[in-house]
Amino acid sequence: MNTTCEKVWKNCLVIIRDIVEWQHFKTWFEPIKPVSLEDKVLTIQVPSQFFYEYIEEHYVNLLAKTLKRELGKDARLEYRIMVDSGNNQNKPVTMDIPGHEYKQYSNNEMDFPLMINNPVKNPFVIPGLKKVQIDSQLNPGYIFDSFIEGACNRVARRAGKSVADKPGATSFNPLLIYGGGGLGKTHLVQAIGNEVKRLHNNKVVLYVSSEKFINQFVDHSRNNAINDFIHFYQLIDVLILDDVQFFARAEKSQDAFFAIFNHLHQSGKQLILTSDKAPKDMEGVQERLLSRFRWGLSTDLQIPEYETRIEILESKMKNDGLEMPKEVVKYIAYNIQSNVRELEGALISLLAQSSLNKREIDMDLAKKVLRNFIKSSSKEITIDTIQKMVCDYFDVPFEKLLQKTRKREIVQARQITMFLAKAFTKNSLKTIGEHFGGRDHTTVIHSCQTVKDLMDTDTLFKESVIELQHKVQLATM
């Protein structure tokens, strides 16, 4: 290789390095190789046609000014582009292009023409490089309206809405949502993607599972097309990557995603990730990636509480145009506590049996159909049992719970007991009130609302209620 061209290019890089961001320099300039220098025409080799097009679109003025500074006002730049010949036995195929124009191809064993607009290979098999041609891979049914908000997911849902309103422009970048299976992670992140498309139709959104990402990377590695793979993903404005815990021990894929992450983040693009565990618990994932996962917001989805489970069921029924007795809805919500997926599965099973047997849905059918979902060892819990648990927890005498007093600790203990009695028993509001010195149903309603409000504003109070909820749940098993 001509040493003069190497020296000229090296001097150009010294100037460029001080102007562009480090990651952009590493991504777009380090892979370039100087080829020749003849009559003040510097030829540089780039790894793909997409690379050439990107350089011409974003850095052509910078290159022109830098080159003229080195070689004078008559300096020109030409590109030698590496092209996939489709045959591993052939020598590397190249084509030389002066600026934006078509010139010639150089390969002794190649006897067919290549067009300059041949696009970089799209991992999702969609022809063309234009952004509008990238399919988002989103399920249009996953939207915010069908994602019920509750204490179990409030932070994540509201953060997701903020991201959808201003993708890449909030402190929630990346937004990492984690939690167990069936809690709605995929639904929520796809709802964000669909909302971005609705509000910002110029944004390119892509949802992909980490498993598919890894498989695509392996395929491109075999074809020596890793640069094309990385450059494709760097086109995305909002990248949603599901189940990043599967990156564990996939070192090469992690390296590729690291480059993609840095480019998108530094370019003001939005990254949204999901995992079944918090970053601190991800084993086999590079620390440099984990540190970037912590740059934005990491928030979890928890098992939905009783009231939220009822709302989820009612929303599902409304969307499907179904009706069901209220007592049956409460029975399902009370007994199916593991996750949203199982909750919806129980509802579908009940509706299917009702349709197949041409039978109205009632409590008898619900108990019969759902016995496979509900632990046979589960048992009913009484208001008296809950009262005793709360009194023991707060060290409050039982008789004080029934008295008319304004002492804060007594009032709150009574309100929490009513709240738990409503959530974990099938008693009416009137019956619950009667167990507290003959109070009426409006007192029970007020107490339950007060507990919900305090859980939203008082962390210690919320922790006490959650701990008591767990104690009551254990008592039913």
Provide DSSP, 369-410: HGGGTS-TT-----HHHHHHHHHHHHT--HHHHHS----HHH
Considering the domain 383-475 in this protein, what is its CATH number? 1.10.1750.10
Q: Which of 269, 365, 348 is nearest to 313 (CA)?
A: 348
- Range 48-53 average pLDDT: 74
Q: Is the pLDDT of residue 68 over 60?
A: yes
Q: Is the pLDDT of residue 21 over 90?
A: no
Q: Look at 235 and 416; give whichever has higher pLDDT.
A: 416
Q: How far is Cα 255 from Cα 257, in angstroms, rounded to an integer?
A: 6
As its CATH architecture, domain 144-300 has: 3-Layer(aba) Sandwich (3.40)
Q: Is the pLDDT of residue 349 over 90?
A: no
SS3 label, residue 153: coil
Neighbouring-strand partners of residue 42: 37, 77
pLDDT band at 46, cuts 50/70/90?
confident
**Taking the domains of the chain in order of start, what are their residue ranges?**
3-106, 144-300, 306-372, 383-475
CATH topology of domain 306-372: Helicase, Ruva Protein; domain 3 (1.10.8)
Question: What percent of the chain lies above the pLDDT cut of 90?
Answer: 18
Provide the pLDDT for residue 133. 60
- Of 118-127, 131-140, 202-211, the one with minimum mean pLDDT is 118-127
- Of 124-133, 213-222, 376-385, the one with minimum mean pLDDT is 124-133
The pTM for the full model equals 0.53
User: Which range, 129-143, 148-162, 339-353, is most confident?
Assistant: 148-162
Compute the mean pLDDT over every residue in the chain, rounded to the nearest whole number: 80
- Of 142-151, 241-250, 329-338, 420-429, the one with minimum mean pLDDT is 329-338
Provide the pLDDT for residue 237. 92
Provide the pLDDT for residue 158. 92
pLDDT band at 332, cuts 50/70/90?
confident
Q: Is the pLDDT of residue 58 over 60?
A: yes
Considering the domain 3-106 in this protein, what is its CATH number? 3.30.300.180
pLDDT band at 25, cuts 50/70/90?
confident
Q: Is the pLDDT of residue 8 over 80?
A: yes
Provide the pLDDT for residue 20. 75
- Range 341-370 average pLDDT: 78
Q: How far is Cα 230 from Cα 227, in angstroms, rounded to an integer?
A: 5
Q: How far is Cα 76 from Cα 65, in angstroms, rounded to an integer?
A: 10
- Range 373-384 average pLDDT: 66
SS3 label, residue 178: strand
Q: Is the pLDDT of residue 96 over 80?
A: no
Q: Which of 207, 213, 170 is nearest to 189 (CA)?
A: 207
Provide the pLDDT for residue 375. 54
Q: How far is Cα 313 from Cα 316, in angstroms, rounded to an integer?
A: 5
